[in-house]
Amino acid sequence: MTLRRAYDEIMDRIEVTEEMRRRVLNRIAQEDIEPARPKVLRFPAWKKYLSAAACLILVLTGAAALPRLIQLLPSGEPVQIVPRIQEASSLAELSGLVGFEVSPAALPFTPEETAYCAYWNELAQIQYSGQGQTATYRQSAGESDNSGDYTAYHDVTGITAAGLSVTLKGEAGAYVLAVWTDGTFSYSLRLSQGLTEAQWRAVLDSAPAE
């Protein structure tokens, strides 16, 4: 069903009863009873009635249209976009899913568990956990921030590590997110425990996790 057809059906069902019309006109009449004012420009009464009736129709239309428009959606539920996620058992398999070689991340802790997955065959994600800490590492083609973290962090600064410009984000000097690009790929690393600038620089300059 098109929106035009739905609109026509809604309009066909709108009825302004005599009681509604009487209340609207009475309200307008009451507002017109006021002390005389010299040279006050007034619109003709029929225009005021038309305006009030139009407002009433808009209100009724909105109330009537909402259930109808919801019914146009499957099962009456909002449409949700679900990402296509594929799990991988190894770094090599993950690279095959996304179509490029995925570089492992350097970490401030020794990982005990590692999980690989690909989003839409375009973005590689590796989740690390160990020693009471977690880390989420992402790599994708292009130069855009792929972290998916839209928090408005109070502290944002830039450092140079591994020969690249890295943006750090966090609070009170403890940075939990690092994003950078080498011009071909974008990278991001989010930690459960924040690090200082010096600590981040040391981590990113170190050897990647196995």
| Tens digit of each residue's pLDDT (9 = 90 or more) over 96-146 | 999 999 999 999 999 999 999 999 999 999 999 999 999 999 999 999 999
pLDDT in tens, 15-42: 555 565 555 455 544 444 444 444 444 4
**Strand positions, DSSP E, the chain:** 85-88, 113-119, 123-130, 133-141, 155-161, 164-171, 174-181, 185-195
- pLDDT 10s digits, 36-90: 444 444 444 444 444 444 444 443 334 333 444 344 445 545 555 667 999 999 9
> What does the pLDDT read at residue 7?
43
Report the distance separating Cα 6 and Cα 69, nearest Å: 8
Higher pLDDT, 162 or 82: 162
pLDDT computed for residue 26 by the predictor: 52
Q: Give which of 142, 143, 113, 109 is closest to 126, Cα–Cα.
A: 113
The pLDDT score that the predictor gives to residue 22 is 53
Give residue 23's pLDDT: 58
Which residue, 48, 16, 12, 17, is CA-closest to 32? Answer: 48
Burial 44-78 (b: 16+ CB within 10 A, else e): eeeeeeeebbeebeeebeeeebeeeeeeeeeeeee
